[in-house]
Amino acid sequence: MRLVRQSHPSAQSAPHIIGLDDWARKRRLRYGTLICDLELGLPIDLLPDRSVKTVSAWLLKHPSIKVVSRDGSSEYASAIQKGAPQAVQVRDRWHLVKNLAACVSVQLTQSLMQLRRAEQAEAKTLDGQQPSPERQSHPRTRGSETSTTRSSSGANSSLRADDGTATARDEKH
């Protein structure tokens, strides 16, 4: 913190693209705002808090700002709207990747659960039990559909889609 406050702004005194992020003075209790010049990759200023009033006041003093990169904070969004309405707001890369990873994780978990249910339903079918209609699901691959159908209904039977229509393999036989 001391080094950031002691540093002198570069020759470019009017920043055009900045990044806002919070930093913890005391974790979970007191936070400040770090402002960086993203063109130069250097910190510009440290604000004592992350309130809308403080951030918007700083932005009003710097009318040259055209782009602000920020996290998903509604406080920062409001402060930018008040202090630099001309600026375009963008999400920062770190938060975008974090949100993307969370969404992919949820999707993969759901897909894995569906695959496990399908395997359990297939195992019950092979054991002679009929799974309930709402629990039935499609096999993972075309190969598993072929082997399951042939083993359960005989080698000479034709394959049918779930709706009873013939598949492409039926027309060859």
Q: What is the DSSP string of 23-84?
A: EEEETTTEEEEEEEETTTTEEEEEES---HHHHHHHHHT-TT--EEEE-S-HHHHHHHHHH-
Residue 94 has pLDDT above 70, yes or no: yes
pLDDT band, very low/low/confident/very high, at 160 (cuts 50, 70, 90): very low
* 23-39 average pLDDT score: 89
**Collapsed DSSP state (helix, strand, coil) of residue 147:** helix
pLDDT band, very low/low/confident/very high, at 129 (cuts 50, 70, 90): low
Structure confidence at residue 124 (pLDDT): 87
Structure confidence at residue 144 (pLDDT): 52
Structure confidence at residue 138 (pLDDT): 58
pLDDT band, very low/low/confident/very high, at 126 (cuts 50, 70, 90): confident
- Measured CA to CA, the distance from residue 114 to residue 119 in angstroms comes to 9
